[in-house]
Structure 1
Amino acid sequence: MAEVKLIPLEVLLGQPERAAAQISPDGKRLSYLAPLDGVLNVFVGEAGTGSERPVTHDTNRGIQSYLWAHDNRHLMYLRDKDGSENFRLYDVDLDTGIERDLTPVDDVQCRLIAHRKQFPNDVLIGLNKDNPQLHDVYHVDLTTGKLKKIVENPGFVGWVVDGDLKVRGAVGTTPDGGAVIFVRDDEASDWRPLLEVPPEDAESTGPVGFTKDGKGMYMQTSVDSNTGRLVEMDIASGAVEVIAVDPNYDIAGVIMHPDTRAIQGVTVYRDRLEYSIFDDSIRGDVEALQRLNAGELLINDRDHDDTTWLVAFDDDSGPVKFYRWDRVTKTATFLFDHRPQLNDYPLVPMEPFSFAARDGLTIHGYLSFPAEVERTNLPTVLVVHGGPWTRDGWGLDPEAQWLANRGYLCVHVNFRGSSGYGKEFLNAGDHQWGAKMHNDLLDAINHLVGQGIVDSERVAIYGGSYGGYAALIGATFTPDVFKCAISMVGPSNLNTLIDSFPEYWKPMIAMWHKRVGQDRDFLWSRSPLSRVDDIRIPILIAQGENDPRVKRAESEQIVAAMKEHGIDHEYVMYENEGHGFVKPENRLDFYHRADRFLAKNLGGRVE
């Protein structure tokens, strides 16, 4: 590895130079996130002039995402305090530079619901102000800043807004862990059920939006199918028209015309993201863009005239590249790399692989090999994704690059319970936390050991959230498999995890019981804390003090138990963080600790 340049953690995992590029609705201005005195803020300037300047001035956690209002004058963004996830909605007037807090209420979470081109000054949001478990719908007038409740929530967990900015759809939950999609003909009508979703379909079914005439609703649903299909349902008759389906994978994304609301195409995530285009008017654009770069094409933004697109290419072995695409001239203008310094370092590809689990189920994943070494007997880090009802994909993964650069094989596994592979695969994870879901991880390592790729004596397990739980399971249930473990915001006791969910998660408790379990003795038997005395490997645990999902007690109770048993461990708690680490100084501190921890236990390189 001596000939491979060491990549500094700051380059891989610090702040990007620029990110999240968008175009203004009129197509004339470019915006992006960039550090201002080390903190991410929004920059805006005339497109193609390099005149971008900061228009927000956050000095704390930075702005993680933002969007243009359709009036071309305001930018909106959500921001919380120290990771609490009690987000407030802010805006900045680009003409005056004035920033406003549009939801100045403490201990309340704001969710952005909808805004439409035809109503440029109007925004619909959800606030759990009157009932912490439920988000009522509020209207925000961007001209005056006035906030007004327009729909009181009778018990729904999600809302669907039609093209006229009317709240006409909703999602509710059922006591058995299922769901119901509701509709109403207009805002004066009563709600009625449109689709009853069984528990086995609830995680892979949901509304996409209304058709332009408001008479139909697009849905991604696995009802009457194994994979999640895109369908249009007539809200009067309930008749279903299938628009797109793949026999093996769920529909991953939908391309909808911003004005006609016609479906122009879909994406399916196999080993990589693949497009199916239905609308000939954009087929040439997508095909030309795919010829431009080998990375994953992401259509991030479209202006009001739909003549200018803002696209990005996510490449597994290079920085994310942003382009402006002119649909009239069919020309692309390169804007920037999000981390241009990465061009100076040796990055490695993500290689898809698959194997048969011990019960015959096919499991997919990705391997990132260290460069310039023989692919035999490698020290290995098994990185477990969070969720767990999500999946790992292909593209630039800074953690994979970090680990491969240090000399480790990085293994990502889409274990049963991961999404995207159909409901049978997802439902195979029900009640399998710490059991078959964990066995899939072990089977991945055994498969690679059997091929001579992995050194069975030098394997670490690492992850955040559910992945942190999996790391703790690895240390407690199967300590002989792993040399060490790293858990970031991982739950240690499934009973206290569920007991301490934030109020706005309480309506979804039935889904958790269906997916994870309800009996307290059963949940305890699948909790790492129940076997803490079996730990025989060193553990690094990192936690955010204000995490609303996995409370700090989840880390502290297992740390206390390890202290009592004299178990080798390192614990770091970041006082101004939540479910994951946002502030760059905290992120880098964590990764430096992990860098040293892995080098000590697996023998890799360290910065």
Structure 2
Amino acid sequence: MALDIVRLLELTSWRAFDVTGTGRVLAGSDESGSTQLVELADGASTRLTALSGAVTGRYLPGERAVVVQHDTDGDERGQLSLLRLDQPRPGPVRLPELYPLVRDPEHVHRLLDVLPGRIVYSTNRRNGVDFDVIVREVATGEEHVVYDQGGMVLEVAADGDRTALTVPGGPPMSDQLVMVEAGRVRTLTGREVAARHTDIHWLPDGSGLITTTNFERDRTGVARIDPDTGTRTWLVTSDEHDLTGWPSPDGSTLLVQANDDGAGRLALHDAATGERRHEVHLPADGWCAFPLPQPVWSPDSRFVALTFTAPAIPGDVLLVDATTGECRALTDSAAQLAGELPVQPTTHRVPTRDGERLPCFRYSPAEPDPQLAGSAVLIVHGGPESQSVRGFNPIVQALVAQGHEVLVPNVRGSTGYGKRWYSADDGRNRLEAVADLADLHDWLPAIGLDPRRAALWGGSYGGYMVLAGLAFQPKRWAAGVDIVGISSLVTFLQNTAPYRRAHREREYGSLATDADFLHEASPLTEVAAIAAPLFVLHGANDPRVPLSEAEQIAAAVRAKGLECELLVYPDEGHGLAKRPNRLDAYPKALAFLARHLTRP
């Protein structure tokens, strides 16, 4: 069977959310059409939930129970519920069968941590903007406010009466590390320090924190931080790769991933010395961290559960034995391909106007359709603080199967290539990332592709890049597919959810001080220049990029007499999380591109 878009979208993938000391894994499976909880144990898979939208969860330590996080139709206002696994049930539960823990559908609640008998979560219910950190006793419902000093809390690590957390710093892509003890709040890193602090964990004796950071470095490494002084001691670093580390609960071992141009290289290290113990042999060149669920340790430090994807592996749960580094797959998503092999990418460095070398993956069809041979589709990731990695992407594989060459770049602003690269598009440098699209277009003849038949595809910030390419480089692009994209940086910041506005102004610029540039860098401002047909997808409940962003660009393009199809899904948010909607939208988008990129 050919790898058509419908078949690719119907493939099931799995992801790991939690693991016990016996190797029992709380996983997610999208077999039903959206990610639902399943439990993997003794070679069997048991379905736990059947909610209307995608869910995540964690085991409640010491109990046969799961804390479930869920929202309504992609509105991102997460609610928290409890699922008891020690009670017999005839099948997966629906929402009325879950025990409510934290329910307030007007506000956002995010599960941050699980402790014996307690959960730690953040919520913006106090004022709709700032996120407070709450510890809740599961049995009694008693709550204790840990932090209410404002900002979007990103991560939390609790240790008795002390809590470490991160909130956004002043510069883009920076995090302040904050300590809360006995009601006293102090920062371990200054607000204006341009450094990331992620994946924070206490050592079991409370003597220090382990974090991934690029404090005074270009590349991220793994460091121990003294909670009293903020002093950093580097444990594992690299001058070539960004590293991310996850310490075991007993503090003895570090799982470290090196980001090798979008492929994850895993190893287990001694947490005290940083010395490398074992390499973890993954099934292929692939990826097993953000934007996937992060690796998670079992409470006894025996196992690590991973979510893994590669170009030919839709998504599997892997279990790593921490004593040996042995890696075992608990699922086999590639078996669904029945021997049909997806295309593997080749890696390139594309020359730019200013002497940079832009990372890019190229996917080429094995047997190009003569009518589409030489056409190119550039897929730009969202974020912008994100990275296209060597994982499975059904859209990429469907476009290649249709006959297009697909280029997947990591334009400036992308993570995974050091602080200098991800900072290169900040604020008033926004159009430098857009100019990277022109450099990619200039490169097409060098690899035998037709620059007259090149299109852009992207979601969220990638959607902004699609619209910006069409507006600012109208003679280069033959078509564009915009998914939940920003058409005006001004109206986006005015209308996005209030709790996101300050967070995003750090990256794009402030409405108060940068309105002139935000207007200049908005595709809607130059909509009169757009000459290519446009295909737009959006979710009606999107709290990040409001539906109005899609509606205003579609109206302006149509007013020019150009083709512009706008598809809006009433039960979706920031992207298409439900398979029936993807099965409706993406075949139409592929047909749109085929129509406009066919040889004349």
Q: TM-score, normalised by structure 1?
A: 0.87
Code of the residue aligned with 1:87 in structure 2: it is G
1:134 CA drift (Å): 1.4
Aligned residue in 1 for 2:94: none
Q: Which whole-Å CA distance do the structure 2 matches of 1:13 and 1:165 have between them?
A: 45
Aligned residue in 2 for 1:245: 237
Q: Which whole-Å CA distance do the structure 2 matches of 1:163 and 1:234 have between them?
A: 15
Shift of the 597–41 alpha-carbon distance from structure 1 to 2, 3 Å rule, reads same
Q: How many residues align?
A: 584
2:581 is aligned with 1:586 = yes
Segment of structure 1 superposing worse, 489-498 or 169-178: 169-178
Shift of the 213–515 alpha-carbon distance from structure 1 to 2, 3 Å rule, reads farther
Aligned residue in 2 for 1:232: 224
Aligned residue in 2 for 1:469: 464
Q: Which whole-Å CA distance do the structure 2 matches of 1:400 and 1:530 have between them?
A: 30
Aligned residue in 1 for 2:484: 489
Q: Which whole-Å CA distance do the structure 1 matches of 2:254 and 2:478 have between them?
A: 50
Code of the residue aligned with 2:84 in structure 1: it is D
Q: How does 1:145-294 map to 2 (within 5 A)?
A: 146-158=141-153, 161-162=156-157, 164-173=159-168, 180-184=176-180, 186-188=181-183, 190-198=184-192, 201-202=194-195, 204-206=196-198, 208-251=200-243, 253-260=244-251, 263-279=254-270, 286-287=278-279, 289-290=281-282, 293=284
Task: Report SS of the residue matched to 2:135.
Answer: strand
Segment of structure 1 superposing worse, 429-438 or 551-560: 429-438
Task: Report SS of the residue matched to 1:149.
Answer: strand
Aligned residue in 1 for 2:73: 82
Could you tell me which of 44, 53, 64 is aligned with 1:73?
Answer: 64
Task: Report SS of the residue matched to 2:441.
Answer: helix
CA RMSD of aligned residues (A): 3.1
1:529 CA drift (Å): 0.7
Asked if 2 retains the 8 angstrom alpha-carbon contact of 1:18 and 1:32, the reply is no
Aligned residue in 2 for 1:553: 548
Could you tell me which of 54, 67, 73 is aligned with 2:47?
Answer: 54
Q: C-alpha offsets along residues 19-54 of structure 1, whole Å, 9 cap, x if unaligned?
A: 124664242644433457655432336422x3x332
1:99 CA drift (Å): 1.6
1:220 CA drift (Å): 3.1
Asked if 2 retains the 8 angstrom alpha-carbon contact of 1:370 and 1:409, the reply is yes
1:182 CA drift (Å): 2.5
Code of the residue aligned with 2:188 in structure 1: it is L
1:538 CA drift (Å): 0.7
Segment of structure 1 superposing worse, 20-29 or 103-112: 20-29
Q: What percent of counterpart residues are identical?
A: 25
Shift of the 208–517 alpha-carbon distance from structure 1 to 2, 3 Å rule, reads farther
1:303 CA drift (Å): 3.1
Q: C-alpha offsets along residues 358-417 of structure 1, whole Å, 9 cap, x if unaligned?
A: 100121111111113499962110001100111111122222111111111110111111
Asked if 2 retains the 8 angstrom alpha-carbon contact of 1:138 and 1:147, the reply is no
Could you tell me which of 338, 347, 350 is aligned with 2:345?
Answer: 350
Task: Report SS of the residue matched to 1:130.
Answer: coil
Asked if 2 retains the 8 angstrom alpha-carbon contact of 1:271 and 1:352, the reply is no
Segment of structure 1 superposing worse, 306-315 or 83-92: 306-315
Q: How does 1:97-496 map to 2 (within 5 A)?
A: 97=89, 99-116=98-115, 120-144=116-140, 146-158=141-153, 161-162=156-157, 164-173=159-168, 180-184=176-180, 186-188=181-183, 190-198=184-192, 201-202=194-195, 204-206=196-198, 208-251=200-243, 253-260=244-251, 263-279=254-270, 286-287=278-279, 289-290=281-282, 293=284, 295-296=286-287, 300-311=295-306, 313-325=308-320, 334-338=329-333, 340-373=335-368, 378-431=374-427, 435-452=431-448, 454-496=449-491
Q: Which whole-Å CA distance do the structure 2 matches of 1:391 and 1:580 have between them?
A: 17
Q: TM-score, normalised by structure 2?
A: 0.88
Code of the residue aligned with 1:7 in structure 2: it is L
Asked if 2 retains the 8 angstrom alpha-carbon contact of 1:139 and 1:150, the reply is yes
Task: Report SS of the residue matched to 2:190.
Answer: strand
Shift of the 312–183 alpha-carbon distance from structure 1 to 2, 3 Å rule, reads closer
Task: Report SS of the residue matched to 1:363.
Answer: strand
Task: Report SS of the residue matched to 2:103.
Answer: coil
Q: C-alpha offsets along residues 94-121 of structure 1, whole Å, 9 cap, x if unaligned?
A: 11255222112121101112224xxx22
1:495 CA drift (Å): 0.5
Shift of the 315–264 alpha-carbon distance from structure 1 to 2, 3 Å rule, reads closer
Q: Which whole-Å CA distance do the structure 2 matches of 1:227 and 1:18 have between them?
A: 31
Which runs of 5 or more structure 1 residues have no equivalent in the other structure? none
1:9 CA drift (Å): 2.2
1:181 CA drift (Å): 2.7
Asked if 2 retains the 8 angstrom alpha-carbon contact of 1:265 and 1:279, the reply is no
Q: Which whole-Å CA distance do the structure 1 matches of 2:229 and 2:452 have between them?
A: 61
Q: Which whole-Å CA distance do the structure 1 matches of 2:13 and 2:161 have between them?
A: 36
Segment of structure 1 superposing worse, 308-317 or 389-398: 308-317
Q: Which whole-Å CA distance do the structure 2 matches of 1:538 and 1:9 have between them?
A: 22
Aligned residue in 1 for 2:92: none
Which runs of 5 or more structure 2 residues have no equivalent in the other structure? 90-96
Q: Which whole-Å CA distance do the structure 2 matches of 1:8 and 1:570 have between them?
A: 22
Aligned residue in 2 for 1:95: 86
Q: Which whole-Å CA distance do the structure 1 matches of 2:240 and 2:128 have between them?
A: 39
Segment of structure 1 superposing worse, 442-451 or 164-173: 164-173
Shift of the 77–339 alpha-carbon distance from structure 1 to 2, 3 Å rule, reads farther
